Homo-oligomer: A and B are copies of this chain.
């Protein structure tokens, strides 16, 4: 039973990687760089995106956003108000709701993404520290948001996510004076699971 399960999962991940490569080819053909943005629920992905998109990026870089949510389009509405092209993916079709984006969901949404008119696509994944890390979607880089309010132990408890990203944005640091969270220990734990990974300390709320 266990071996059958492992086999099915490996086949599913192989199939996912094949579709991710097809996505990657489409992005390359249009010269679009792609970020897969991941975090736990409520860590601040959308607010950080809003902040980053509120003024034009350097060098006239044109950005598009692909929003992944189980249900609803609350984040897409927030981003669209900044006059950025947004495409919504909902993962709830079929049953209770997928807890992550996979390459095929992204592929299905690509006809609605104006690849010819953007230089950078930000894919905001479903808020979850486990499964999104297992599914490549054709991205160039993986960025995760870690809110200090989640505590310093999370890199050790959700290591795959921290291990497979190229940049960790440490958010909500304006709250540090009101928390019993040890920032040094958080940074040490991140470095333990992904030695040398880049980190950036930010506050979406205070800027």
Contact among B128, B149, B151, B156 with A175 in the assembled complex (CB-CB below 8 Å)? B149
Copy count, this protein chain:
2
| Contact between chains at B42 and A151 (CB < 8 Å) | yes
List the B residue with the shortest CB-CB distance to A164. Answer: B96
Query: What is the CA–CA distance of A69 and B156 in the complex, to the nearest angstrom?
Result: 10
Q: Cβ of A147: which chain B residues have Cβ within 8 Å of it?
A: 42, 149
Q: In whole Å, how far is A133's beta carbon from the nearest beta carbon of chain B?
A: 7
Interface residues on A, range: 35 or more
A residues sitting closer than 8 Å to B (CB atoms) are: 2, 5-6, 9-10, 13, 40-42, 69-72, 74, 94-99, 126-131, 133-134, 147, 149-151, 153-154, 156-160, 172, 174-175, 178-180, 205
Could you show 21 A-B contacts with beta carbons less than 8 Å apart? A9-B94, A40-B40, A40-B127, A41-B150, A42-B150, A42-B151, A70-B158, A71-B156, A71-B157, A96-B133, A96-B134, A96-B160, A97-B130, A97-B134, A98-B130, A99-B130, A127-B158, A147-B149, A149-B172, A149-B175, A175-B178
Nearest first, the 6 A-B pairs at minimum CB distance are A42-B150, A99-B130, A149-B149, A96-B134, A40-B41, A41-B129
Cβ-closest chain B residue relative to A205: B180
Report the separation of the CA atoms of residues A87 and B207 in the bound assembly, to the nearest whole angstrom. 43
Residues of B within 8 A of A205 (CB): 179-180
